[in-house]
Structure 1
Amino acid sequence: MPVVIVTGASSGIGRATALRLGRAGTTVVLAARRADHLEAVAAEIGSAVVVPTDVRDPAAIEALVARAREVDGRIDGLVNNAGIGGKTTVLADDDMVTQMVDINLVAPIRLMRAVVPIMREQGSGSIVNIGSVAGEIGIAGTYSATKFALRGMTDSVRRELAGTGVGVTLIEPGFINTDLTRRTNLPGPETVAAAVESALRRPRRRIVVPWKYRAAMVAAGALPALVDHLYAKRAAGRG
């Protein structure tokens, strides 16, 4: 049975991903800060490993990876999903900026650093990083900055590991109905979970969900002045 770590597994995209993988026969190692929520997810799956984890803590990350490896001597997948949003204005306070960078960017880097040697030794494995369309179109302040950076890091790691048997995929969701958005008129987290499952099985460079956001991404690259006009002042207005 494959062993896959899912961070941020207590709610939203992480929870949906864990449930989907677990029901398909994967041993899911559930990581998040809220132990009671993780236990509830594990109860729905039936076979999962609960590891309460604060991804800001390097020691906690090392303990998480060590526990995952204890299951079967290997780690087949890592889903870097844990993330937070916040004020979109450049005037956001330093504590918020630091926390967002630590969780959205530094933690995925540390987790990759912990699992890559194991996967290289195995000659196989799959890493899936959850980015955002906001990592292609700068409209969300520090959140966008972390997702832009995660995109660059993902590209770099994918190229670094080419030919090793380890795949690296970036999934970039648009607006999804999660705890961060709370908008019921949006696609649910199951949409992203399906993309994660697919990427774990067959790694690809980048997956955008839903696909309709690709048009906005193309426009941002080809017609930046138009995108500036469309989004002018909107980010700060939401902050």
Structure 2
Amino acid sequence: MQVAVITGAGSGIGRAVAVELAGRGWSLVLAGRRQDALEETARLAGGGLPVPTDVADPASVAALFAAAKDEYGRVDLLFNNAGTNTPAVPFETLPPEDLATVIATNLTGPIFCAQAAVAMMKAQDPQGGRIINNGSVSAYGPRPHSLAYTASKHGITGLTKSLILDCRDFGIAVSQIDIGNAATARTDRMSQGVPQANGTTAIESRMDVGLLARQVADLAVMPLEVMVPFLTIMPRTMPLYGRG
């Protein structure tokens, strides 16, 4: 039995990854803010343990991993996927509370989850596991007026590099997947046109979220002796290169 903890599992990328992993025989621990959304993911995946979680709250994260241990006895994969964003505004007008929310959810939360996962993976027998961080292509190529999100995703790259270093002696493999426009509700606006780095507005292509889910699952099943530190997946015609 292999056990995956998926944050942001109530919708979008997290839900797609949960369904894909379940199809490959994984047991699931589904984390997110809304119980009803997690239960829907569990239904679509054919099973899974829904655990309502606020990743920005260390006590909530501790309860998540305690539930995983109580139910399954171990964790083999953390997909660090929970995230949020703010409206696109000039950075000098970004409300402090919006900045704090994005950093807490997109960066501090994944750090809390990684801490809990690493502690559990070090202690379990057999030792080890895998962490996959959802970095986003904004980890190296910002969109206009995206200060909070871009800074948080650059921080995820720092988290990934630190985990690679600090976990290498404990059988824990770490990857970051930098995702372009996956076709989820969050990217519906891409089909209406979004601001570009050159000041224009343009419609952007999106990719089937199922393709992305399969890529995450392929990373998850690699032997722990091997890891892919960074991987980018995006639509071929997405205008990433040239914006940063």
Range moving further from structure 2, 143-152 or 47-56 = 47-56
CA distance in 1, matches of 2:57, 2:117: 16
Equivalent runs, 1:19-38 vs 2, <5 Å: 19-38=19-38
In structure 2, the CA distance between the partners of 1:151 and 1:40, relative to structure 1 (3 Å rule), is same
- Aligned with residue 94 of structure 2, among 87, 92, 95: 92
Query: Secondary structure of 1:181's partner?
Result: helix
Q: Which runs of 5+ in 2 are unaligned?
A: 192-204
The question of whether the paired residues in 1 share the 8 Å contact of 2:6 and 2:28 is answered with: yes
In structure 2, the CA distance between the partners of 1:52 and 1:117, relative to structure 1 (3 Å rule), is same
CA distance in 1, matches of 2:239, 2:8: 29
CA distance in 2, matches of 1:167, 1:193: 19
TM-score when scaled to structure 2?
0.84
The CA deviation at 1:179 is 2.3
Please name the residue that 1:235 is paired with: none
Please name the residue that 1:165 is paired with: 171
Query: Secondary structure of 1:161's partner?
Result: helix
The CA deviation at 1:46 is 2.1
The CA deviation at 1:48 is 0.6
The question of whether the paired residues in 2 share the 8 Å contact of 1:128 and 1:168 is answered with: yes
Q: Which amino acid letter does the alignment assign opposite residue 139 of structure 2?
A: G
The CA deviation at 1:213 is 8.4
CA distance in 2, matches of 1:2, 1:14: 17
Equivalent residue pairs, number: 220
CA offsets 1:113-138 (integer angstroms, 9 cap, x no match): 11102112232200010011111113
The question of whether the paired residues in 1 share the 8 Å contact of 2:99 and 2:148 is answered with: yes
Please name the residue that 2:51 is paired with: 51
TM-score when scaled to structure 1?
0.86
The CA deviation at 1:212 is 4.3
- Aligned with residue 133 of structure 2, among 129, 132, 135: 129
CA distance in 2, matches of 1:168, 1:215: 28
The question of whether the paired residues in 1 share the 8 Å contact of 2:179 and 2:233 is answered with: yes
Q: Which runs of 5+ in 1 are unaligned?
A: 218-226, 232-239
The CA deviation at 1:47 is 2.1
Q: RMSD across aligned C-alpha pairs, in angstroms? A: 2.0
CA distance in 2, matches of 1:38, 1:47: 11
Please name the residue that 1:143 is paired with: 149
The question of whether the paired residues in 2 share the 8 Å contact of 1:3 and 1:74 is answered with: yes
Please name the residue that 1:107 is paired with: 109
Query: Secondary structure of 1:176's partner?
Result: coil
Query: Secondary structure of 1:51's partner?
Result: strand
Structure 1 or 2: more helix by fraction: 1
Range moving further from structure 2, 42-51 or 92-101 = 42-51
